[in-house]
Amino acid sequence: QKEVEQNSGPLSVPEGAIASLNCTYSDRVSQSFFWYRQYSGKSPELIMSIYSNGDKEDGRFTAQLNKASQYVSLLIRDSQPSDSATYLCAVNNARNEKLTFGTGTRLTIIP
Binding site for another protein (CB under 8 A): 2, 4, 8, 32-34, 42-46, 49, 88, 90, 92, 97-104
CB closer to another protein out of 79 and 91: 91
Min. distance of Cβ 38 from another protein in angstroms? Answer: 9
How far apart CA 12 and CA 20 sit, in angstroms, is 10
Min. distance of Cβ 56 from another protein in angstroms? Answer: 13
CB closer to another protein out of 20 and 49: 49
What separation in angstroms does the CA of 89 have from each of 17, 103, 110?
21, 8, 22
Min. distance of Cβ 101 from another protein in angstroms? Answer: 4
CB closer to another protein out of 19 and 47: 47
Centre a 10 Å sphere on the Cβ of residue 19 and count the other Cβ atoms it contains: 24
Min. distance of Cβ 85 from another protein in angstroms? Answer: 14
Instruction: Give the three-class secondary structure for 83.
Output: helix
**Which class for 20: exposed (0-12), middle (13-18), buried (19 or more C-beta within 10 A)?**
middle
Pairing of strands 11-14, 105-110: parallel
CB closer to another protein out of 30 and 62: 30
